[in-house]
Structure 1
């Protein structure tokens, strides 16, 4: 069984890239609105690209974060709910209603998915049925694909999508009672970060482009227990 095109990895990459913003649609204004000056924070006085860059840096340096997001493209809905900390990850990715659970820890990756998921890769029905609801240890070549599903990989993906070259209007606001800085692009896409000079963590990204997407961040620096599942099925025992 060849796992070179593991769909859930592609879904995550697409989701994260889709929410990076674009330097093509934003305005040239990097100045803050009058509400920004009232906050008095240095962050709110920066240009849009500087705010986003500082926010991505803070996210990466936090060491851990909980990321929840969704993207709709060509009639297909993809969602993710991931705990990222260091090189480890746990959570789920849902593609058109099919939920795939995943754990990547210590350089090894494990997936739990419905039988139809495995059948979609050409696995014979008899083997796919055996994997229904089972945690599966992925082959080394497939596990390498999870290397982008890390906190640093997420930040790199967002930056490469143009996220740190965003242009737009900078204002201040409140989100769930917390002071925030908001960058708004011409197409209505927004990047919301904590209005904190020391820890300007990203809180919410909303992309209003051709593939509408939303990503929420929380739990910065909060470590949870990520461990390998007990008694995973080794694909090589199925002749993979």
Structure 2
């Protein structure tokens, strides 16, 4: 038997290692027919409809999630950074250059913002110095106030996922990709015009990134199943304005 020179052996081993790195790190093929689904959860081999169903089931069963990115709704862009669970959520929303915090525990919704927010609500200044009193406080949002319906959905895991995790049109797969170091399979609606969704190929097939149809925002989903504290604010930090906020 002819001996293989040590140099060739080392080159072969190096090429194999580089190929494995490429396939594992990026999901790309091309290294002697490397399988991009090797070592994954297997959803990458499924039809797009089943990938979407598996992803949605995983999202529904997860107790918590962190959602961040942009959402365009009714002509207004909202920058979200929310942590959500079944009984509430907390985080921040930025719209038209103003950032405010939201906290919902059970059915009680609180809005926390600075003086600028309250003075700019509906483009009107809040009278009587009320804006200063609300600065940095958790303001109880009455359920009958228009702000409750407008903002509570940002703190509701089920409502948000129902509205967001939907692709429109004919579904198809669009190759293997990567999100924050995690291998994904991408599915599209109508070749991307109906939105795109990246689903994890590692562990549970959670949705990791969504580009909404029509340029209506891009969102990332992280911290699936990681619990976080959610509690009512201290009374000293809370303002209750009764049935209606001073500026909705």
TM-score, normalising length: structure 1: 0.71
Shift of 1:109: 0.9
Residue pair 1:110, 1:228 contacting (<8 A) in 2 also: no
Question: SS of 1:100's equivalent?
Answer: strand
Shift of 1:49: 2.6
Shift of 1:184: 3.9
d(CA) in 2 for partners of 1:75, 1:104: 25
1:117 alignment counterpart: 117
1:192 alignment counterpart: 198
| Uncovered stretches (5+) of structure 1, i.e. residues with no partner | 1-32
Change (3 A) 1:117 1:38: closer
Change (3 A) 1:147 1:190: closer
Change (3 A) 1:148 1:114: closer
d(CA) in 2 for partners of 1:66, 1:157: 16
Matched, 1:129 2:148: no
Select which of 170, 183, 186 maps to 2:187: 183
Residue pair 1:90, 1:102 contacting (<8 A) in 2 also: yes
Matched, 1:69 2:59: no
Change (3 A) 1:226 1:165: farther
Greater shift, 221-230 or 110-119, is seen at 110-119
CA RMSD across the alignment: 3.2
Change (3 A) 1:153 1:239: closer
d(CA) in 1 for partners of 2:104, 2:245: 23
1:107 alignment counterpart: 107
Matched, 1:155 2:161: yes
d(CA) in 2 for partners of 1:165, 1:200: 22
Larger Rg: 2
Matched, 1:224 2:244: no
Shift of 1:148: 6.4
Residue pair 1:58, 1:199 contacting (<8 A) in 2 also: yes
